[in-house]
Structure 1
């Protein structure tokens, strides 16, 4: 059987690959870059508030007392109340409603407000592109589905892509250089990209898929379908008394030794049918948590069964850790970061190839340079706004992106714009680190903040060296051979 695709199929695949890439290039870049950074969101949350006292050992009774005191203080009790428990990845406790949260000191007293606004800006960019959540999630999930198409069409469009897996022609033809970088990174990271694409598409389309599966399996009853996946809510008849949080945590530890309780969620808080969900993480499993349910008095109700229930349920609750690389320790996060950067580069070089093929230069050339390299100072300045100055950062981010595109167009040279924006990125990152040290003092030199700041300074130095490096003018690439033909 001949497994080599025909010339017509290669041509059609190349055309579809190009058009798909052009449609989503800019959005894909923003989603990939923000997702790459968001892999380290637990570390970034700790970096944002370095002065919080961190402990891994805690007294459940102190947390129970803190919760009751918080409710008695008049804080609005929302339908869901959340208690985050100290863990190795996030060794700090907090209690939150759906609107606000506070850290809890080891003695059970209430600490300062939880404020992870810049990390949430980054996550919101990755999940929703800063659009309304219900709409933005569908857009980002559609990008995941399109990425699946890009991967498949890209592999078919380049029949020699694996044969040329080690070919990298740098320093010559601009288009050949970009094509080689694009194709080589695509080959070596294609399994990772496909995994990210599939899990990313799932997050947003789960609701749509539920409508389809409900029609097949539960006569259109989506509530019944969700109960089969997430577990049916318990029907409780109980007197509304203060919750026995400590008892629930201690029982979970006894029933699931060797696991790490991560959180307690109080469902239907303040109502007679309220109950507690204790989420505990199992070692060496991809599921995010197993959940144990308790009534208000701390009596055990049941276990949901994410760890040993139906295979479909286990798969559903493994997608989060697979997508964000939160398994296997810090080394896996670093690997996800490297592969995520590769995905970002693939997004950029794909668009660069199309620009280089054109017989003209116009606004798109400079605007693209402004977006790609303006995103770095935009992220740094949004962090300065939120972390150092306490002012809204989302608007700052998009204003800087717009300014970067405008000034890049005014310079009328994408190579010059690239270099200047790289230097601007280096300067703004360095300013962020300096301002951070000034604001937080000795807390900036504790392990996690020190690691984040050192990484930022490495990024700033790299950008500065790239910006200072002289490159050939962009005009020299207009009449170079077609990289597709070279493949």
Structure 2
């Protein structure tokens, strides 16, 4: 298939596509890489605390006893009860500050600690910037990604006709362009879906502000109430939370739905307190329908994400669609593969810009350090957080900064790539070994073994790539006329 487009439009699209890619390449790389990992956040949360007993069973009376044991000083405006699911077969109670796993006797167990997983998620959602600003920035980047996809199609009229043309091992420019274009074509629907849903997440706050002037005369709270349901006006005496009664009622109210969380709203104001039971509806993309109950467990209403207006249902379907949390685990794996493809597209796009300049300078060094140094920096942050319990956000960014500085000092991007590949191998191996030593027998549970085996496979891949790159560097130095930078 060849698009028939005016030559002028093609040139303008190519120029726009190139500059958009250059301006957003580094941040897009971090977002795509962290998003690929974040698809598996449920598995990573369990991996961070493999010693926690797991079970799909729970007792409502046990939940009530556990909730009653939360110290009054720890009660916050919102409280959260996570019910066990196939993905995370653990029960926990959390405040806005901390959380505990629930023991079978209703006592509060170990604290919930998922900081490294949250580091990955927050990198994807906010780029570790202040949340509001970071979310908007990521949303803008999602919108720009839509522009990159459209301009990329317009800039390459033969992009679909050449869908299987892959020229490896020759000119660096042709090699990178072919990898970039082929992966872009093969994952085009996925990339467009991720770009649109990502833009929605990030720009939702701005959309609320704009839409409020259209539908509610600028009243954002009224608009949010129309979408997410207005808070019920309650007059009730302070009393223990009737969690069991609410869960029992769910069997009649929504017999086909599966409750998987409870949010206690106005938890610090007993007279206004009410519960939201979030329930998954099989075969639906919506994250959950929300069923609301007062403190005594009396049913109030449902918000309407399962049977309300089309817009409501669409809004609550964005999450599962964006992260691939629907259907079977194989969908997550597919998202992981396609997310990795998007990450490679980001890297090769910038590589094309570097190759077209036909000279090298500090940009070549800094890009090599940034891209290839991020992986060992992530592994080091995992060691700091999971093994030693040290806040690891600074470790990650210091590691990335150090990698770019080292690459500039070495002034040889081929050598920098090789050294960072070895660094990735070593840091991942250290993480696996230290994890096994720290958690002992728990490190050999099926989930922990699966994650560690995946990490080991990644380490082996980097070791192979580094060894191969070393041979090519040696060959190019001994016979520079026969082997160019494009082969490394």
Larger deviation, residues 358-367 vs 194-203 = 358-367
Q: Residues 87 and 260 of structure 1 are in contact (CA less than 8 Å); yes or no, is this contact kept in structure 2?
A: no
Give the CA deviation at 1:408: 1.1
Alignment deviations for residues 112-156 of structure 1 (CA, whole Å, 9 cap, x no partner): 101000000000100011111111111111110000000000000
- Please tell me whether residue 393 in structure 1 is matched to residue 409 in structure 2: no
- Supply the distance in 2 between the matched residues of 1:150 and 1:305 (Cα, whole angstroms): 35
Structure 1 residue 3 displacement after superposition: 5.8
Write the deviation string for residues 270-290 of structure 1: whole angstroms up to 9, x where unpaired.
Answer: 311110000011111100001
Q: 1:16-69 CA distances to partner (integer Å, 9 max, x unpaired)? A: 000000000000000000000000000000000000010101101101111012
TM-score, structure 1 as length reference: 0.96
The residue number in structure 2 matching 1:172 is 170
**Contact persistence 1:84–1:94 (CA under 8 A):** yes
Q: Root-mean-square deviation (CA), in Å?
A: 1.6
Would the aligned equivalents of 1:357 and 1:478 in 2 still touch at CA under 8 Å? no
Which residue number in structure 2 is paired with residue 282 of structure 1?
Answer: 281
Pairwise CA distance, 1:76:
2.0
Tell me, in whole angstroms, the C-alpha distance in 2 between the residues paired with 1:468 and 1:251: 62
Distance 2:181 2:69 in 1: 59
Per-residue deviation, 1:245: 0.9
Q: Which residue of 1 aligns with 2:74?
A: 76
Mapped to 2, the partners of 1:18 and 1:82 lie a distance apart of: 46
2: CA distance, partners of 1:233 / 1:353: 53
Equivalent of 2:85 in 64, 84, 87: 87
State yes or no: 1:246 paired with 2:248.
Answer: no
- CA gap of 1:433–1:372, structure 2 versus 1, over 3 A, is same
Determine the structure 2 residue equivalent to 1:471: 472
| Structure 1 equivalent of residue 267 of structure 2 | 269
Q: Which residue does 2:297 correspond to in 1?
A: 298
Match of 1:22 in 2: 22
Cα distance change on mapping 1:287 and 1:100 into 2, 3 Å: same
Gap change, CA 1:454 and 1:479, over 3 Å in 2: closer
Secondary structure in structure 1 of the residue aligned to 2:358: coil
Partner of 1:484: none
Aligned match of 2:184: 186
CA distance in 2, matches of 1:362, 1:237: 69
- Residue 212 of structure 1: how far off its partner (Å): 1.6
Q: Is it true that 1:458 corresponds to 2:463 in the alignment?
A: no
Rounded to whole Å, the distance in 1 between the matches of 2:345 and 2:148 is 11
Alignment of 1:63-462 (within 5 A): 63-70=63-70, 73-271=71-269, 272-462=271-461
CA contact (8 A) 1:86 1:262 kept: yes
Deviations 1:260-319 (A, max 9, x none): 211100000131111000001111110000111000100000011101110000000000
The Cα of 1:75 is off from its aligned counterpart by 3.5
- Cα displacement (A) at 1:84: 0.6
SS in 2 for 1:21: helix
Match of 1:46 in 2: 46
Tell me the distance in 2 between the aligned counterparts of 1:361 and 1:278: 58
The answer on whether the counterparts of 2:381 and 2:392 sit within 8 Å (CA) in structure 1 is: yes
Which whole-Å CA distance do the structure 2 matches of 1:168 and 1:107 have between them?
A: 60
Q: In the alignment, is the contact (CA less than 8 A) between 2:3 and 2:157 conserved in 1?
A: no
SS of 1:308's partner is: coil
The answer to whether the 8 Å contact 1:51/1:443 transfers is yes
Shift of the alpha carbon at 1:213? Answer: 1.3
Q: Summarize deviations over 1:331-388 as a string: whole Å, max 9, x none.
A: 0000000000000000000000110111321111011011111011001000000000
Contact 2:3 2:158 in 1 (8 A): no
- The answer (yes or no) to whether the contact 1:56–1:91 under 8 Å persists in 2 is yes
Please report the TM-score for the alignment, with normalisation by the length of structure 2. 0.96
8 Å CA contact 1:262–1:279 kept in 2: the answer is: yes
Instruction: Show structure 2 runs of 5+ residues with no match.
Output: none
How far the C-alpha of 1:412 sits from its partner, in A, is 1.1
Specify the SS of the correspondent of 2:81.
Answer: strand
DSSP 3-state at the match of 1:471: helix
Q: Return the offset for 1:478.
A: 8.8
- Deviation by residue 1:51-98 (Cα, 9 ceiling, x = unmatched): 00101011011011110121xx33421110111111111110111111
Q: How many residues align?
A: 477
